[in-house]
Amino acid sequence: MLERLKQEVYEANMLLPKSGLVTLTWGNASAFDKESELMVIKPSGVSYEAMKPEDMVVVDLDGRCVEGKYRPSSDTPTHLQLYQSFRQLGGIIHTHSPHATAFAQAELDLPCYGTTHADYFFGSIPCTRPLSDEEIKEAYEKNTGVVIADTFQKRNLDVLAIPAVLVAKHGSFTWGATVQKAAETAIVLEEVAKMAAMTLALNHGVDSAPQCLLDKHYYRKHGANAYYGQK
Amino acid sequence: MLERLKQEVYEANMLLPKSGLVTLTWGNASAFDKESELMVIKPSGVSYEAMKPEDMVVVDLDGRCVEGKYRPSSDTPTHLQLYQSFRQLGGIIHTHSPHATAFAQAELDLPCYGTTHADYFFGSIPCTRPLSDEEIKEAYEKNTGVVIADTFQKRNLDVLAIPAVLVAKHGSFTWGATVQKAAETAIVLEEVAKMAAMTLALNHGVDSAPQCLLDKHYYRKHGANAYYGQK
Amino acid sequence: MLERLKQEVYEANMLLPKSGLVTLTWGNASAFDKESELMVIKPSGVSYEAMKPEDMVVVDLDGRCVEGKYRPSSDTPTHLQLYQSFRQLGGIIHTHSPHATAFAQAELDLPCYGTTHADYFFGSIPCTRPLSDEEIKEAYEKNTGVVIADTFQKRNLDVLAIPAVLVAKHGSFTWGATVQKAAETAIVLEEVAKMAAMTLALNHGVDSAPQCLLDKHYYRKHGANAYYGQK
Amino acid sequence: MLERLKQEVYEANMLLPKSGLVTLTWGNASAFDKESELMVIKPSGVSYEAMKPEDMVVVDLDGRCVEGKYRPSSDTPTHLQLYQSFRQLGGIIHTHSPHATAFAQAELDLPCYGTTHADYFFGSIPCTRPLSDEEIKEAYEKNTGVVIADTFQKRNLDVLAIPAVLVAKHGSFTWGATVQKAAETAIVLEEVAKMAAMTLALNHGVDSAPQCLLDKHYYRKHGANAYYGQK
């Protein structure tokens, strides 16, 4: 079942170590099939060298394994919570890519310092609050998703305009209409986090990019008046 | 038409990701044919893996597409403005290479801290002022070129002696007599920006290289008395 | 003798330069056979390109060469001391991987700033005190092992819960039940040291991860209630 | 003539870009034949891809070309001065490797912060004073060698115990009994400069390694009582 989605999820997973975002087995990719309400996700702790498309695991919204010989990623409840909170999403990537994780560990939002960031993210990428001890003990992975959703709701952020989050003391999640798009966004997130760290090292008091520049770059790639790329 | 120039522009474009200067489809190369007053430039948002020499787009000085099945790079008006302001240029490269972009995002000139820089650039590489909201809204890409030209004029800089600029909150442009030369300069710019950031991290109050050393290194590679390389 | 262990030690050694942890011939891997009380270790100063499984050297607990045509690693007495102090260990890796070595040279513990670290190490990775001049002159390599063992004893640390140490002004050792596991831990150590340095650069006053998060991440991968990976 | 030396110089030159020490055509390697008092050196500004062993240039101590169809490296007078000042040398490498160059641009000695450094260099690696305007104008490349030699003489340093120097605002030179050894030292210099920069970023007030540790590590690899490596 969902063979095409398994292939896409497999390819997105394989892109992560190839792009330098993932060490060992850290990180995972999933896609959500809106019709069947089933999620395809990477198996837990399987090495990238050995992984094949048919090893992807299919789970339902309650986290029950519907197909697959492996256990799903231990982060499965986070992915499921995000698909439930944000019904627009078709794919999600989780990594511990180093520069994005450094911002998450430092518990800092990633400000927009330039057009590279503005081409993909319409403003700062938020860092969540830390989970409480109760949230960690009760249902850690699910509550990670809940805290992400809370962050976007409280700050009134559009999940498709800011397709990434930093989870305090943990790592990053990126998403999109498809898992390929989410994987591309994971690559961009790490690159803009690296550039932001370099920028801060040169000038600690640096200003964020002005709103007008954000608007220009974001809308030249997104929405009805976009003119970047081919028709 | 301009088949040789298309091949050169294609090769310069391909050199950018290979040299680690470009992630995804960021960055573009162009060349200008002085006789026909036509520019050859990379198509917009086409992946480097799929790109072929014949995909390069030919446009005239008004930005009209003269040949090519793709839209030209969204930065086309910036390139055209630069060829019009600086008639000596035969090729231009735009990238978001990380260290150069960090200086641009920090809104800092890139000072000459040593002979690696002095071999290619006769002094600091300027960072432009930010574009005003009006300039962004009116004609963003064209005005990026106008602000670059203003920067060189106001500071009385020779565009061939300082073949690069940092655009505030954006990235870098490099140029030269040919697009190959502009691409080589893009590689050098990123390397000297990296070294400058490392130098500042070790010694925030470091002095720039003295003028006499700038003269020596620049003129041993450039001008009538050059003695670097083969005759 | 011990042909399977030689193969494992060889493969672990070869993984080190491949993973970017080792430059030239720096670094070494060993495994300990509990039954025979013999250690298999890399030969000293042999290049990785030329090294073969049969070049691994077998020594007894007194450091006498039992088999092998080469001298064992000059760090042999450190490895032997660690196997004697910590009888649970089956494999040990020594490297000068750059970020871990930077913490060692700075004489700083490596704090746990997030879940990447907590997945492998149950708290800070200790940096030893410097060896005294007497310890250096008397039996430098053996005393390196003694000081490591002292550090774990004095701080009351569990050697399998914190499977790594930073040796002041020197480099790192990692270990595990097998040499493969020790090599994986060496990769993780370098990655979390890199992330910690990046985190501190962004926020010098950053807090360590709370104990509850440490517990959660460590116990989801270790012990009776682990649920990461496959059964 | 000197075919074996040409091959060695060629191989050392090729190792530099392969090891990430050299960008474009920056950097050069030479070897000195004590019997004939002739030096073999890389041609100036020839690309590494096109270079062949027979392209190496042979010059005498006065800098006259004795054999070779290309001009020798523009740094030829520096190499010649060093072979004349330090008669023990058989090979010299010059690079602008980024971390070593950052210390040179910052005009800072590279202190010994640990055993990685102590295994190869018996103390701090000195940074020269800047050349005076007169020295630059009169005979820049030769005077670079003179200032290096002065630095070692005034500080009373042994050129084989400290086989490297940082030239203020410029880059590094390393040397040894052979050009292969000098190239290996260039790799080590860049790695220890990187680690030192990382160490300083973590702890600005860090102490250098104590003399006793320097002695131990240096003499376990060098001199009559060396026990590192194979006999």
Q: What is the DSSP string of D173-222?
A: EEEESSHHHHHHHHHHHHHHHHHHHHHHHH-TTPPPPPHHHHHHHHHHHS
Residue C28 CA to chain centroid, in angstroms?
Answer: 10
Q: What CA–CA distance (Å, rounded) separates C76 from D176?
A: 29
The token duo for B121 is 């650039």
Query: In A, residues 159-218, which contact B (CB 8 Å cutoff)?
Result: 184, 187-188, 191, 194-196, 198-199, 201-203, 206-207, 209-210, 212-213, 216
Q: What CA–CA distance (Å, rounded) separates C95 from C185?
A: 11
> At residue D182, what is the residue type?
A
Residue A109 phi/psi, 5-degree rounding, is -60, 155
D204 to chain B: closest CA residue = B202
SS3 C163: coil
Q: Which of A119, A140, A150, A219 is catalytic?
A: A119
Residues on chain D touching B207 (C-beta within 8 angstroms): 107
**A146 interface with B at CB cutoff 8 Å:** no
Residue A195: CB partners within 8 Å, gap ≥ 6?
A: A113, A114, A116, A117, B96, B98, B101, B102, B105
> At residue C163, what is the residue type?
P
**C134 interface with A at CB cutoff 8 Å:** no
**B43 interface with A at CB cutoff 8 Å:** yes
Domains of chain A, residue spans:
3-219
> For B169, which of A194, A209, A220 is closest by C-beta distance?
A209
**For residue C11, how many C-alpha atoms fall within 13 Å in the half-sphere facing its CB?**
13
Cβ A107–C228 below 8 Å, yes or no?
no
Cβ C210–A130 below 8 Å, yes or no?
yes
Residue D49: CB partners within 8 Å, gap ≥ 6?
A: none
Confidence of residue A226 (pLDDT cuts 50, 70, 90): confident
Confidence at residue A217, expressed as pLDDT on a 0 to 100 scale: 87
Contact C169, D217 (CB under 8 A): no
The ipTM (two decimal places) reads 0.95
CB atoms < 10 A from the CB of D134, how many? 10
Average pLDDT over residues D6-32: 95
**D231 interface with C at CB cutoff 8 Å:** yes
pLDDT tens readout for residues D103-137: 999 999 999 999 999 999 999 999 999 999 999 99
**For residue D32, how many C-alpha atoms fall within 13 Å in the half-sphere facing its CB?**
25
Alpha helices in chain A (DSSP H): 3-18, 76-85, 98-105, 115-118, 133-154, 179-202, 211-221
DSSP C45: T
pLDDT tens readout for residues A92-116: 999 999 999 999 999 999 999 999 9
Cβ B213–D171 below 8 Å, yes or no?
no
Residue positions of D annotated with a catalytic role: 119, 228
pLDDT tens readout for residues A12-49: 999 999 999 999 989 999 999 999 999 999 999 888 99
Average pLDDT over residues C109-118: 97
Q: What CA–CA distance (Å, rounded) separates A127 from A190?
A: 14
Is the Cα torsion angle C21, C27, C32, C36 positive or negative in sign?
positive
Cβ C102–D202 below 8 Å, yes or no?
yes
Cβ D188–C131 below 8 Å, yes or no?
no
Q: What CA–CA distance (Å, rounded) separates A200 from C198?
A: 12
The token duo for C114 is 């997030």
Average pLDDT over residues A152-167: 97
Residues on chain A touching C196 (C-beta within 8 angstroms): 105
Confidence of residue C229 (pLDDT cuts 50, 70, 90): confident
Alpha helices in chain D (DSSP H): 3-18, 76-85, 98-105, 115-118, 133-154, 179-202, 211-221
**B134 interface with D at CB cutoff 8 Å:** no
Confidence of residue B229 (pLDDT cuts 50, 70, 90): confident
The token duo for D60 is 């005498």
pLDDT tens readout for residues C41-71: 999 988 999 999 999 999 999 999 999 999 9
Average pLDDT over residues B108-129: 97
Per-residue pLDDT at C134 exceeds 80: yes
SS3 A225: coil
Tokens 């670079």 appear where? D144
Per-residue pLDDT at A229 exceeds 90: no
Tokens 């042979």 appear where? D58
Contact A33, A43 (CB under 8 A): no
**B18 interface with D at CB cutoff 8 Å:** no
Q: Does domain B3-219 have CATH number 3.40.225.10?
A: yes
| Predicted TM-score of the model (pTM) | 0.97
